[in-house]
Amino acid sequence: MLNKLTLPFFSVIAAVAVHAAPVGNTMAPQLIQEGFLISSDSWVDFRVGYEGDFVGDARLEQTDQGSGRVDTYQQYTNAATVTLNLLDRLDLFGVFGSSRVCCDWRFTSGTTITRIQLETLYHFLWGAGARGILCEWGKICLGLGGRYSFSNYRASWLATNGTPVSVSGARVVWREWQVDLDISYNIDIFTPYLGVKYSNTLAKLGTFSIPISGSGVGLDQFENRTPVGIFIGCSISNCKYFMLNIEGRLVDEDAVAISGNLRF
């Protein structure tokens, strides 16, 4: 019955493009079987946890006002997570934390090449998503998920060709979405997983007091140049109270995520 309900639910998520970031283990909804307060026989339970996401380079390119690759786009996030688990098959979760961005890129005006370096202050980031188990064969599990994340950063400093300039009032509005499909295999307390994801990243920069793009204005926009990526990770749990997870994301970005959850 639940399998029949889960597949249409996630098909709707994929159709409306639920939005990326850490993916997580598709078997996570059933890895913690026993909690501190709620009976293991209950059809619903709550979990709280931590998520650290460290992006070494999201492979982006300039669009709209500019053109060319973004040389480096780094993002560091520390967040709390709240998860509602249904029937040990479906996780609905929210992410609430603090994040900042460091990036640099170049643009050409005539024969002059200008390099821009930018950092933001730490700012509130939120996200929401779901992951669910589609089907199982013994210890093998196939699942589908999706996520949306958003933040509105305030610029901390900006330099053009190494010279700092004013960033008063400048913002970086960032949002990211993804859908993912992965497979996992349980080996005692270890559950490794591997999957593929489709994501979309958009960062809108403005309004800066100097030109930051080839159009000669203080505006620019970044989008991911490789929408498809792969991820690999492993969860550790003895099925009681807690779960730890580490994950790496490749191809579309270089990133590592570390997370943990407690079941109540």
**Residue 21: predicted pLDDT:** 81
The pair of structure tokens assigned to 249 is 């994301």
Q: Which residues does residue 93 pair with via DSSP β-bridges, in sequence order?
A: 83, 129
Tally of helices (H runs) and strands (E runs) in the chain: 2, 14
* Class of residue 46 by CB neighbours under 10 A (exposed 0-12, middle 13-18, buried 19+): middle
Residue 255 has pLDDT above 60, yes or no: yes
**Residue 262: predicted pLDDT:** 97
Question: How confident is the model over 158-185, as a mean pLDDT?
Answer: 96
Q: Which residues does residue 152 pair with via DSSP β-bridges, in sequence order?
A: 173
The pair of structure tokens assigned to 259 is 């997370």
pLDDT tens digits, 79-112: 999 999 999 999 999 999 999 999 999 999 888 9
> Based on C-alpha coordinates, what's the Rg of the chain?
20
**Residue 51: predicted pLDDT:** 98
pLDDT band at 195 (very low <50, low <70, confident <90, very high): very high
Residue 14 has pLDDT above 70, yes or no: no
Going from the N-terminus, what domains does the chain have, and what CATH number goes with each?
2-263 (2.40.128)
pLDDT band at 6 (very low <50, low <70, confident <90, very high): very low
**Residue 189: predicted pLDDT:** 96
45 backbone dihedrals φ, ψ, rounded to 5°: -150, 165
User: Could you give the CA distance from residue 256 to residue 254 in angstroms, rounded to a whole number?
Assistant: 7
Q: Dihedral angle at the C-alpha atoms of 95, 74, 247, 61, nearest 10 degrees?
A: 100
